[in-house]
Structure 1
Amino acid sequence: MSTQRMSGARAVVECLKAEGVEFVFGVPGGQTLSIMDVLYETPEIRFITTRDERGAAHMADAFGRITGTPGICLATTGPGATNLITGIGGAMRDSSPVIAITVNNRRKDIGYDDAQDADHVALFQSLTKWSVLVTAPERIPHVMREAFRRALMGCPGPVLVDFSRDAVEEGELEFTPAAPLTYRAAGRVRPDLEDVVRAARGLREARRPVLWAGNGVLISEASAEVLALAEAQQIPVITTFNGIGAVPTVHPLVFGPRSRFGTRLAKEILAEADLLIAVGNSLNAPSTSRWTLKLPARIIQVDIEPSMVGRHYPCEATVVGDAREALLALASAMKDAPIPAQRTEWVADLQRRRTAWRAEATPAHFAGKIPIKPQYLVQRVRAMLPESGIIVAGAGNPGIWSHLMDVYEPRTYLKPVGFGNMGIEVPAAIAAKLARPARHVVTIVGDGALGMCVAELETAVRERTPLVVVVMNNRSYGNIKQEHEAKYGPRYIGVDFGDVRFDLVAQGFGARGERVERPEDLDDALRRAFAAEAVVVLDVPIDDQENVWKDPF
């Protein structure tokens, strides 16, 4: 490969091209203009201008989750960079590969009260896998390649690359192209055989084991391996919230998500089980209701990160390695293991209870209720959305009610879990449509969260990304209002809004908008929305008396 002399800005873009980057999300600023100028003549990469850098970070996060490849966001110094932080925090807590690129002031001016002066590395350090300041142009190729390495290796996550303005704008360097496989590994981490044998021994002894699949199953693309082990050994499977979609929810051995606000049936399974197999599941606070959830005394934990296994709960066996490789090895070790009769009986009982639970969770009489019940709303959205469609569930109550929706394929459901960041909904839906243009995309969002990202409707219209926004409009920060009531009674303060007509707001941004108040009108409105090949907002006033803090399902 021939060496060329080029600017720092061009070297940044050449590194993105080498990694096959198709989109950069961001807001232009004075410090980033040198990179923008190179992007102008780089047709392989499409720059998506957002209305706020928060939207850019959320788009990069969602793109990383749906594709498994790093989402890229770009921001200028100071307020541009700080606006990225919420989205980057979400990517960190939900293990999404993201590369945030910021351009700071000139090296000699950083830390000397220049306009918009900020220490980006210090600001991002606790919310990234790696944060670095680059002030010398000749370091750009190495640092950019290292950024992709770190974003993807082990448990994925975000990194920050902060350039001084002079590094990308004024300096030059000798650039030698390099293929990604020359600087980062593509193989999978295989587990230690002794660890697998120890885990298999524990599973052979179990009468009521449960497999709790987390985000690591999605990252590893190990869905088939989870189901193969579950079917061979008749093991019920539940998921974390970040693991929703790792296995199809309609499979007879899959029993829904569990954490705070998960299904009652999944909670019962954990309480009844005598062995927990946690796969790609760190057993962190969001998964375990801040470690208050009752778990079996015996735990086998499988994780690619050695620092995660046994961190929160003592384990009788730990397996460090890629989830797919670990499951293949465990299935092989269990090949001739008999299935205890007690396990078969337990699974049959669980399946009977699941049938009853499904009927109870969305009763038929909800179809005639005004205001529309949130349970009925998500049920009808799911019925109208193709099985391959992508669901972006919002923070708060919309995300909780979305647990009633079946998910058929991996990477077709996402929501903010570890950071709980509101405002991701519309940006994430845009990124989902860009990543998977042939699929229908719907986001289910509360009116509170939509207020934080509503301007990105214009981005969706401008970029021609058809999607459907279903607004659960309860004129409040509903989840916090219900938590307040649960803890202090109905002494509400700071949680209620006026009635915003988001259907009319949408029209102002060039989207289509419709308010749906009667349940009998819902199916037709959804059909029109999904058929429109446009940005459509359905504003649905819902019954705010349906309370997620009362363990509704």
Structure 2
Amino acid sequence: MKKGTVAQFVAEYLAKEGVKYVYGIPGGQPLNILDAISDRDDIDFIATRHENAAAHAADAIGRLTGIPGVCLATTGPGATNLITGVGGAFQDSSPVIVITANNNRKDMLHDDAQNADHKALFDSLVKWSVLISHPDHAEKLFNEAFNIALSGNPGPVHVDFTRDVLTETMTWNDENKAYRSPNRILGDVETLQEFKQKLLDSERPVIWVGNGAKLSGAGEEVIKLAEQLSIPVITTFNGIGAVDMSHQQVFGPLSRSGSMLAAEIIAESDTVFVIGNSLNGPSTSRWTMNMPKEIYQIDIDPNMLGRHYPGTRGVWGDVKICTQYLLDQLKDAEPSNQQKQWLQHCYDKRTVWTEKYITPFRNNDSSPMYPQTVVQFLGDVVAEDAVYSVDAGNPGIWTHILPLKKNQFYMKPVGFGNMAFSLPAAIAAKKEQPHREVICLVGDGSLGMSLGELETAVRAKVPIIVVVLNDQAYGNIKQEQTRDYGPEKPHIGVDFVDWDFAAVAKAVKADGERVSSLMELKEAFDRARKSSTLYLIDVLIKPEVSVWTKPF
């Protein structure tokens, strides 16, 4: 057993769980935790310029590593500033431990400074929220917080401390014990046998994988299953990277703004096997997508089975274990002639689609640039194991056509659509895995919401490459206004002045430049790779190229 303050216990517990960095903004109430962290050499605190960025950084760590990221804030406005980023982690199933420090016990819920009911604030956007106000509760409740964050469908958990409890003495077990199960559940075998038979009998099957396959690490099993029976694979937007996106049988992501290729494959199929995919609104164009009648679904969350499509045949279980079971059962199976013909049909459709929507923009020398050209350039040149940190809005939509490679990692806020994610997420990714090239792809609208984090990147010594898709507007909303009300009506609240992002980067001791052509982008990217600090490439793109016109 070990003895110390609750704050010292918190710092030691986080380090034991593999947490390297805590992101946040200091305040009076959590100072004892910061002091305890500063006394250790196995964990560090990184101050962001806004608490929202701290939540995004913690979210990124959860996505990238599977270890809960940790963000910290003081009471009242500190806590409320975390909420948007925490909501993004909740909607996209990213494990995060959200730590807030409240006022002293005797002063809570009275007229003290920065008074707020943190539990009420966080309840709807976390898996669990708890107040720790007695030292005897700290170890048990912290164990439970990590267990809940990582079990079943992962997500954020909120732990609130009273300020005075952090200074009180407690004893805790300092042995390195595992407090949770491996979370690998094999679904009902009888129903999985039905899945097996349907996989054999379907003439035009398709596998549609989501974020659950990524969280479970089921990518190889899914690809092997697809290869076994000549089945085309598509992903959700949140499932990008769940499988090897460069594999010939993977036909890209499908969502409200997904490719016409993926949508047509789903529409022409006779059975869809939904693996780690909740079939939520963003994936299915708010449930208006043309879907086959036969839907078979595997998910770790039993509440998702058949929730949106009654009649779905569902299996509750771990995606990786269940897919491996199907593989074992099908080890001697071969695809039918109809399945082979169906896959070839999908290949032919992709050839036509590529020639129409992709090839014309590859190496296109227009100025300003087509956004399609920018993302294809990045896909061609970035490192084989790079991390893409992509923001909400149009940058994320254009990455539907990003040629992602097998060992690259892709993350973007999908379910909550929370802007200002990509820059702090990229900072956290580079701190966590400094050997990897990290690309932040952000729009000028989102960058305006997170601009202060350029200084955080310089202070944290992370040489990331920031690529700005700059159309001098909230481009997605401006294009939607044009679609709905016509180009002749004035746009409302979406246009910006032309400001020099590269100059802002240089003002905080980073570096950068503006480009407007492919040749300039190539030269700038070479300089960015050689930089020892953050390098911002401000790319002027054609504002008239709209994602709402189904450009791919």
**TM-score, structure 2 normalization:** 0.97
Indicate yes or no: 2:278 matched with 1:282: yes
Deviation of the 1:44 alpha carbon? 0.3
CA distance in 1, matches of 2:475, 2:220: 37
Deviation of the 1:178 alpha carbon? 4.2
CA distance in 2, matches of 1:211, 1:101: 39
The answer on whether the counterparts of 2:245 and 2:406 sit within 8 Å (CA) in structure 1 is: no
SS in structure 2 opposite 1:160?
Answer: strand
The answer on whether the counterparts of 2:246 and 2:406 sit within 8 Å (CA) in structure 1 is: no
Which residue is 1:380 aligned to? 377
Output one character per residue of 1:329-351: Cα deviation in whole Å (capped at 9) or x when no partner: 11222334442212211211211
In the TM superposition, 1:22-421 aligns within 5 A as: 22-169=20-167, 171-181=168-178, 183-364=179-360, 367-409=364-406, 412-421=409-418
SS in structure 2 opposite 1:452?
Answer: helix
Which residue is 1:548 aligned to? 547
CA distance in 2, matches of 1:253, 1:434: 34
Output one character per residue of 1:373-419: Cα deviation in whole Å (capped at 9) or x when no partner: 11111111222201211111111001111111122236600111000
The answer on whether the counterparts of 1:196 and 1:333 sit within 8 Å (CA) in structure 2 is: no
The answer on whether the counterparts of 2:186 and 2:318 sit within 8 Å (CA) in structure 1 is: yes
Indicate yes or no: 2:516 matched with 1:517: yes
Match for 1:509: what amino acid? V
Which residue is 1:436 aligned to? 433
SS in structure 2 opposite 1:59?
Answer: helix
Output one character per residue of 1:489-546: Cα deviation in whole Å (capped at 9) or x when no partner: 2331111010011011111111101000233211111121123232000011110111
Which residue is 1:11 aligned to? 9
- In structure 1, list runs of 5 or more residues that go unmatched: none
The answer on whether the counterparts of 2:385 and 2:407 sit within 8 Å (CA) in structure 1 is: no
CA distance in 2, matches of 1:434, 1:295: 42
Deviation of the 1:364 alpha carbon? 4.0
CA distance in 2, matches of 1:289, 1:315: 19
The answer on whether the counterparts of 1:214 and 1:243 sit within 8 Å (CA) in structure 2 is: yes
SS in structure 2 opposite 1:367?
Answer: coil
CA distance in 1, matches of 2:355, 2:385: 24
Output one character per residue of 1:65-106: Cα deviation in whole Å (capped at 9) or x when no partner: 000110001110000101100010000000000000000001
The answer on whether the counterparts of 1:384 and 1:526 sit within 8 Å (CA) in structure 2 is: no
Match for 2:493: what amino acid? G
Deviation of the 1:297 alpha carbon? 0.5
Output one character per residue of 1:261-309: Cα deviation in whole Å (capped at 9) or x when no partner: 1111100000000001010000011111111111111000000111111
SS in structure 2 opposite 1:302?
Answer: strand
Match for 2:256: what amino acid? R
The answer on whether the counterparts of 1:367 and 1:520 sit within 8 Å (CA) in structure 2 is: no
Deviation of the 1:179 alpha carbon? 2.9
Specify whether residues 14 and 520 from structure 1 end up closer, same or farther in structure 2 by C-alpha distance, changes over 3 A only: closer
SS in structure 1 opposite 2:170?
Answer: strand
Indicate yes or no: 2:483 matched with 1:483: no
Moved more, 101-110 or 172-181: 172-181
Deviation of the 1:465 alpha carbon? 0.8
CA distance in 1, matches of 2:73, 2:331: 52
Deviation of the 1:316 alpha carbon? 4.4
SS in structure 2 opposite 1:44?
Answer: coil
The answer on whether the counterparts of 2:384 and 2:408 sit within 8 Å (CA) in structure 1 is: no
The answer on whether the counterparts of 2:443 and 2:468 sit within 8 Å (CA) in structure 1 is: yes
SS in structure 2 opposite 1:63?
Answer: helix
CA distance in 2, matches of 1:531, 1:523: 13
SS in structure 2 opposite 1:38?
Answer: helix
Indicate yes or no: 2:457 matched with 1:460: yes
Match for 1:79: what amino acid? P
Match of 2:444 among 444, 447, 470: 447
RMSD over equivalenced CA pairs, Å: 1.3
SS in structure 2 opposite 1:248?
Answer: coil
The answer on whether the counterparts of 1:97 and 1:151 sit within 8 Å (CA) in structure 2 is: yes
Deviation of the 1:5 alpha carbon? 2.5
CA distance in 1, matches of 2:483, 2:360: 28
CA distance in 2, matches of 1:325, 1:411: 24
**TM-score, structure 1 normalization:** 0.97
The answer on whether the counterparts of 1:32 and 1:103 sit within 8 Å (CA) in structure 2 is: yes
